[in-house]
Chains A and B, each alone.
Chain A
């Protein structure tokens, strides 16, 4: 009889708490719609794989090839290969703006002026002897060809480090292929028995790049992103909601009324936990289903491990939320502290970008977070299709951290009861 009564009480607390979210437009937005918006945004951003659309890269070309220069003591104005390079860039879909002069940032109409104002992403300077060099026009006094290097200059906008890196890699990738073609022409100029030797000198090491067989199916970027977003769900739905739930009830006085009733504080806590857990699962479900339906994400569905990991992660999130809720005086203060904690944490759990990109101290901090472990587990089981035993160490970490944080949250909650 006592058990039945306790279950009824837990269900009542959980249902009322849950309805509080379902009937609150702001809470619904952050619990269900925000994850949906988020998945839509990252889907459209990363859903088409990791290739960069070259048309968005604007290259300012200063083509000096074809200018009058002296070659073997005679004047030359040949610009054929420089023009071919520009045409090839255009046909590779780069957006090309032509400039007569590199110039400087204060002289309007020059390439340096344009890049300083963000009108172009990079400047390529094709030297005046580009054609003459690549077509082996330089000879010595005896008429033998003289090997001469040509220097293409590439300048990128340093104010956008990521953009500069992408631009640089895209143009270098293109030009290396272009130059390779002329390298072969040059090699063919030497006697046949020397060509292999020269080939090795030209390319002593060749790098073959391909994706390792981590997964059975080819994955797009979004396939890796979606499992990581479940870590964000814990922060948005778990931590934020838990931090508000008791603070709000205390502000409104409903918590006092619950305590006046013959209900143990543990039952109230259990009801709140179930409500929070349900929200986390709902939010995660929305995130995953929208990923599947809208962007056809390609994942492996080890449902028991996903549910277990989310449960263990929720212990930590709700534990932190309870601490916030218990130490703050009202819902506004609880909300502010929850935002201050959860927003920066989003960047340390490896959901948006790998922790290896961060400074060492940040990596250590990120690796210590239970939410990072959850993200790792989700990526392991959902993208790498690893079995349960492969994620046991991280599940244990989640369990221990969950028990510690939830226990601390419970202690804070009990102390808060005495302050009513």
Chain B
């Protein structure tokens, strides 16, 4: 069953075609990534899903409700976390959450309980939440920004670049929150231009460029669509045909061969595999057991960045 159904949606701003005839579905409970460079049309698409913008043509359904015909019902189902910090900086976290909660029809004891649950869920310090939001760190603001979208316990959550501008520590803390939401069965659409975020979190990804979806599938499916492969590169003190055969016999190894390192002028062993992390220890153990010293190991993993570059000829950050 799908929580979001997008059919032939186009959005035009005067002369600019921001979204060009997009169709896709997001299944219930799925963590769906919208990946693409700035200006690809991701934010326009999420604004249309959230009802801020109307499509020029096509239809969008959320929870089987048309966003234009049943906009109020769709709004009840949706929790939207905007890219910018959209909070009242003269209010504290509790006051901000109380305001947004009341907009969604919560009040009294239920609202207070829900605010406390979310403050705990987003790991916000009890003392800090009494200060005005203007005094918060970027990470704290992001967490309140997310909490504000979760007050009414929405089934579908739209996260627009939720970790933009955060340091690695805060970024990983937010990833944990997002994964926790997924484990609760929420349907999540995550918009990002960070491929490692999409790879880490999403079960399905749509790569967008110039208003169109250029690739759609799970991260592994997308990687398989291009001819690049994951490679483990070993630099041994010596090589032999027997060693290569032994490595080839390891489960998960697709191929193994020797090659000359052009820079170092040394001989290397290249191991081709789908799951380099899983077999790395076996490859190293097999080499050592063969009486060969391993001087260095390098992992070359095919990423979504490679997929994007292969499909568009440009980097995600361009």
Residues on A facing B (Cβ under 8 Å):
5, 8-9, 11-13, 15-16, 19-20, 23-24, 252-254, 256-263, 420
Contact = CB atoms under 8 A, between A and B. Distances in A.
A257 B47 CA distance: 11
Given A19-B88, A254-B88, A257-B86, 6 more contacts: A8-B105, A16-B91, A260-B75, A260-B78, A260-B80, A261-B100
B309 interface: no
Contacts of B51: 259-260
B82 interface: yes
B175 interface: no
B80 A257 contact: yes
B88 A16 contact: yes
A11 B51 CA distance: 24
Contact of B103 (A9, A23, A24, A420): A9
A19 B91 CA distance: 8
Contacts of B53: 420
A248 to B, nearest CB: 10
B44 interface: no
Contact of A12 (B50, B52, B80, B99): B99
Given A11-B102, A253-B82, A260 B90 contact: no
Interface in B65-100: 72, 75-76, 78, 80, 82, 84, 86-88, 90-91, 95, 98-100
Contact of B88 (A5, A20, A260): A20
A19 B90 CA distance: 8
A260 B72 CA distance: 9
Nearest to A12: B102
Nearest to B71: A262
B107 interface: yes
A252 B51 CA distance: 18
Contacts of B148: 257
B104 interface: yes
Nearest to B76: A262
A24 to B, nearest CB: 7
B103 A263 contact: yes
B104 A252 contact: no
Interface in B102-161: 102-105, 107, 132, 148
Nearest to B108: A8
A19 B78 CA distance: 28
Q: Name the residue among B82, B88, B148 with the largest chain A CB count within 10 angstroms.
A: B88
B153 to A, nearest CB: 14
Contacts of A259: 51-52
B88 A256 contact: no
A270 to B, nearest CB: 13
Given A254-B86, A260-B78, A262-B72, A420 B52 contact: yes
B51 to A, nearest CB: 7
A107 to B, nearest CB: 65
B233 to A, nearest CB: 47
Nearest to A252: B86
A262 B105 contact: yes
A8 B53 CA distance: 26
A31 to B, nearest CB: 15
Q: Name the residue among A24, A262, A263 with the largest chain B CB count within 10 angstroms.
A: A262
Contacts of A262: 72, 75-76, 103-105
B240 to A, nearest CB: 64
A12 B86 contact: no
B3 to A, nearest CB: 17
A12 B91 CA distance: 13
A12 B87 contact: no
A23 B88 CA distance: 11
Nearest to A6: B105
A11 B82 CA distance: 24
Interface in B208-250: none
Given A5-B105, A8-B105, A8-B107, A256 B82 contact: yes
Nearest to A259: B52
Contacts of B52: 256, 259-260, 420
B50 A260 contact: yes
A9 B102 contact: yes
8 contacts: A9-B102, A13-B103, A19-B95, A20-B90, A254-B88, A256-B86, A260-B50, A260-B52
A254 B52 CA distance: 12
Given A9-B103, A262-B76, A262-B104, A253 B88 contact: no
A160 to B, nearest CB: 47
A256 B85 CA distance: 12
Contacts of A23: 90-91, 132
A2 to B, nearest CB: 9
Contacts of B95: 16, 19
Q: Which 3 A-B pairs have the closest CB atoms?
A: A12-B102, A262-B75, A261-B103
A172 to B, nearest CB: 59
Given A16-B88, A24-B90, A257 B104 contact: no
A269 B185 CA distance: 36
A196 to B, nearest CB: 81
Given A260-B80, A262-B76, A12 B90 contact: no
B129 to A, nearest CB: 16
Contacts of A15: 99
Contacts of B50: 260
A261 B53 CA distance: 14
Contacts of A261: 75, 100, 103-104
Contacts of B99: 12, 15-16
B66 to A, nearest CB: 15
B82 A257 contact: yes
A258 B103 contact: yes
A20 B84 CA distance: 20
A254 B107 CA distance: 20
Nearest to A17: B88
Nearest to A2: B105
A257 B101 CA distance: 12
A252 B90 CA distance: 12
Nearest to B89: A252
A258 B80 CA distance: 11
Contacts of A254: 86-88
A261 B148 CA distance: 11
A101 B51 CA distance: 85
A253 B98 CA distance: 18
Nearest to A264: B72
B179 to A, nearest CB: 24
Nearest to A23: B90
Q: Name the residue among A8, A254, A260 with the largest chain B CB count within 10 angstroms.
A: A260
